[in-house]
Amino acid sequence: MFLTTSQIQFIKEHAADDLARLLLSAAKYPGMDIPFLVDQIAARRQIREKLPSWYENERLAFPSKIAAEQCSSEQTAAYKQELVGEDWTVCDLTGGLGIDSYFLSRKAKHLTYIERFPAYCEAAEYNFSVLGAGNITVVNGDITQFVEALPVVDAFYIDPARRGESNKRVFALQDCEPDLPGLLPELLKRSPRVIAKLSPMADIQMTLELLPGTTSVHVLSVKNECKELLFVTERGAEGRQPSIRCINFGTNGVQSFLFTMEEERNAGLILAERVGAYLYEPNVSVLKAGAFKQIAVRMGVKKLQVSSHLYTSDQLVSGFPGRRFRVDEILPFTGKLCKGLSKTLPQANITVRNFPLSVEELRKRTKIADGGPVFLFATTLSDGKKVLVRCSKA
């Protein structure tokens, strides 16, 4: 699999075309493999935002649109480099498009890419050559068929497929392919550690029970959208308390928060008696990890209510891993208030936390349009009162 000069030019010229129409007009382009080129354009659209360096390289080829849909983002792929050593040998057991393999190879001494689909291997070998990644060996094969022949390496990397029968999306680790819990003992015979990329929908506590010996969990988000979970499991580490690192790659930099579940269990709950001058909303990685008490203890803020997951303080706290707001007004939630609120507040960004109405239902009640510089948090306080907290960015 490779792209000719004429194919690269065609992709550039038709990058913004209606792809369905382009397929129907294949007869207009004799000698061109239009279905293949349409797939290339579709795949490039998928990676434009999440993988800009690959998007800019016009020579790269993509085996399928779904491979581009499922691949890691550039930020999360680069983050994985922190999990391997410079003199390590690494084996990617589920190579796919090869994004993670490529970024891991930029740190590791050597990487073995294994993939069961020949077309993916062909594309990966070609792309690695284009990218100058000479320390990657491509192997076509199904790891479940030759587990005992796997190389001895410093780390295995695995991203179990999240689609089952009839291409149905699955989230439970036991339903993914290959079966990581079943495969883990064999992998740890050949490597001291296994790095697993799992669905952001996976339950962290349940997964820890399925992967004994996990020493760290990494919750990765991009622009406050949870993208993936990484579990690092080590040989002989059963019973150790894993660290949990929450990372959010935002437009203004990277936010990080590190804790353990034991710290979270032992932390005292600090509830606010009132809403202070500032309001804080943790980023989605912190919320996914469940650091609801630790975030308050560590950052010196108070929680509005046990289940609200909003925090407050009278002094602005720097470095909070999430959004920070200045509180402008606190409004009691009543039917009368809702009817007339749009007259003084025609537009706002609405968030609900531990509140009886959804965002859509609250907008319908208040007739407040979306957007603008005002932020409205609908939530419940520690005394049970339902309020609307009107804020602006701090």
pLDDT in tens for each of the 394 residues of the chain? Answer: 689 999 999 999 999 999 999 999 999 999 999 999 999 999 999 999 999 999 999 999 999 888 898 899 999 999 999 999 999 999 999 999 999 999 999 999 999 999 999 999 999 999 999 999 999 999 999 998 999 899 999 999 999 987 655 556 666 787 888 999 999 999 999 999 999 999 999 999 999 999 999 999 999 999 999 999 999 999 999 999 999 999 999 988 999 999 999 999 999 988 999 999 999 999 999 999 999 999 999 999 999 999 999 999 999 999 999 999 999 999 999 999 999 999 999 999 999 999 999 999 999 999 999 999 999 999 999 999 999 999 999 9
SS3 content of the chain, % helix, strand, coil (to 5): 35, 30, 35
User: Which pair of tokens denotes residue 122?
Assistant: 């062909």
Q: How far apart (Å, rounded) are the C-alpha atoms in residues 359 and 357?
A: 7
Quick check: 101 and 112 in contact, CB under 8 A? no
Give the other-Cβ count within 10 Å of 246's Cβ. Answer: 28
State pLDDT tens for residues 291-331. Answer: 999 999 999 999 999 999 999 999 999 999 999 999 999 99
Q: How far apart (Å, rounded) are the C-alpha atoms in residues 282 and 291?
A: 9
Residue 170 pLDDT: 61
Strand, coil or helix: what is 227? Answer: strand
Quick check: 69 and 103 in contact, CB under 8 A? no
Amino acid letter at 309?
H
Among 66, 189, 94, CA closest to 104:
94
Residue 270 pLDDT: 87
Quick check: 200 and 163 in contact, CB under 8 A? no
Quick check: 349 and 388 in contact, CB under 8 A? no
- Scan for tokens 């609801």, then name that residue: 292
Residue 163 pLDDT: 62
Phi, psi values for residue 179, rounded to 5°: -75, 95
| Sign (positive or negative) of CA dihedral 322, 323, 329, 332 | negative
Residue 205 pLDDT: 95
Residue 317 pLDDT: 96
Report field, pTM of the whole predicted structure over 0.75: yes
User: Which pair of tokens denotes residue 123?
Assistant: 């594309």
| Sign (positive or negative) of CA dihedral 5, 7, 11, 14 | positive
Residue 38 pLDDT: 96
- The greatest distance separating any two alpha carbons of the chain, rounded to the nearest whole angstrom, comes to 73
Quick check: 376 and 368 in contact, CB under 8 A? yes
